Homo-oligomer: A and B are copies of this chain.
Amino acid sequence: MNLYEELCVLVGKDKASINETILRHHSGDESHHAKVEPNVVVFPESTEDVQKIAAFANDRKVPLVPYGAGSGLEGQAIPIKKGISMSFERMASIIDIKPEDLTVKVQPGITRLKLNDELKKYGLFFPVDPGADASIGGMAATNASGTLAVRYGVMRDQILNMEVVLADGRVIQTGSMAKKSSSGYHLNGLFIGSEGTLGIFTKITLKLHGIPESITAARCTFSSIRSCVDAAASILTAGIPIARIELVDARSIKQVNHFSETDFPEEHSLFLEFHGNKSGNEEDINFVKTIVEDMGCGSFVFETDSLKRAHLWKARHDLHYAFSHSYPDLSILSTDVCVPISKLPEIVEYTRNQLNTYGLDGGVLGHVGDGNFHTALLYNSHDPDEMKKVNRFNRELVSYALKVGGTCTGEHGVGFGKIQFQKEEHGPALDVMISIKKMFDPNDILNPGKILPES
């Protein structure tokens, strides 16, 4: 029997596929990385299915690659060593909402927008908001974050417990339902961000938040990208509990207006949002207004109307698509460095200048409240000269970030696109990570070729 036939016997014909369209659908993500088709795609419907498939793959030493929404940006879901792609589209439901505990237990395949639609009925929301409508499992696997992380934190801050299937098919719980714990080692944190290389998530319990009584958004423009970031830094060090503070440079605003039919002034901008009670927000907003005006902001426009506000953030979240869909023939590389806030103004200015120096086209945008920003870099992958420039730009930017104490990835994860930077970033700690991988996955079947260099 071949791999497909064996899997059909193992979990049932209806849960495995070698259909060409399905194989192709599971061969890539939203990144610039080359697609690779798996040999088989499986569709588990229960933890037991996942256990059986893991134990089988471990026994046969076949690569097993989890697949959520396919919205990753570093090739995490691409089965670069072929084998089995495990889709969670049939494990995508809400298991249990506990409004009184502000928690929800979900299956990994559910996407963040579907989850929030359901939570709205309870006056609750889940704050982690990457640009894409990613799956919660994928977001846990990459320790994703987004525009609200400056206030609510990243995935690792939002997960209480996970049910995880290990390489040999064993099932463990990584945490508890308690809001805090000092009991045992922090397996929760270790599995979050492990990109399917240490275990496979089958249930995830998330913290929830009440929808704030008062929400106000604002936009302000600056003549230089540097002053945008200087203003952001001042707002943060002033200790204002801002909920969102996003940099969108003039080039990106132009793309937003084109793609999202907005008419934002095409200048370097900060998009802001305040969550709290009415009078508290008013006081914070006035404080912020004086700060940005002192720093020479041009226009300062409020979006109090909830529809306009939603439109503003939809436009921001769609920025990656604004670039990719407008240039179907070009590839996009999205950088993701994160640095200490005091280093952000200089590195953002450096990035904008480097684009000009190399004659590359791209937008600079990001979650400046966390020191994290992206360059959406447009390039022609068939032009070897341009490829050289793009790779050099990327390497130099990462080296700069690491030199000032930052990281090569604030939220996209390593996948295989950033393996090249792991030694430079982690030094001797990388050997410890490799030992951990070997301990959890001695046969190297769990998403092989991701995060860690081949040893």
Contact = CB atoms under 8 A, between A and B. Distances in A.
B280 A184 contact: no
A127 to B, nearest CB: 12
A170 B431 CA distance: 11
Contact of A237 (B99, B142, B185, B418): B99
A238 interface: yes
Nearest to A437: B185
Copies assembled? 2
Interface string A279-312: 1111110010000000000000000000000000
Contacts of A98: 340, 342
Nearest to A103: B340
Nearest to A189: B189
Contacts of A340: 98, 101, 103, 177-179
Interface footprint category on A = 35 or more
Interface stretch (A60-68, A149-157, A244-252, A259-267): A149-157
Contacts of A198: 185
Contact of A430 (B184, B370, B404): B184
Nearest to A451: B184
Interface stretch (A3-11, A34-42, A49-57, A420-428): A420-428
A143 interface: yes
Nearest to A145: B180
Contacts of A192: 186
Contacts of A223: none
A172 interface: yes
Interface in A396-438: 401, 404-414, 418, 421-422, 425-430, 432-433, 435-437
B233 A426 contact: no
A182 B409 contact: yes
A277 interface: yes
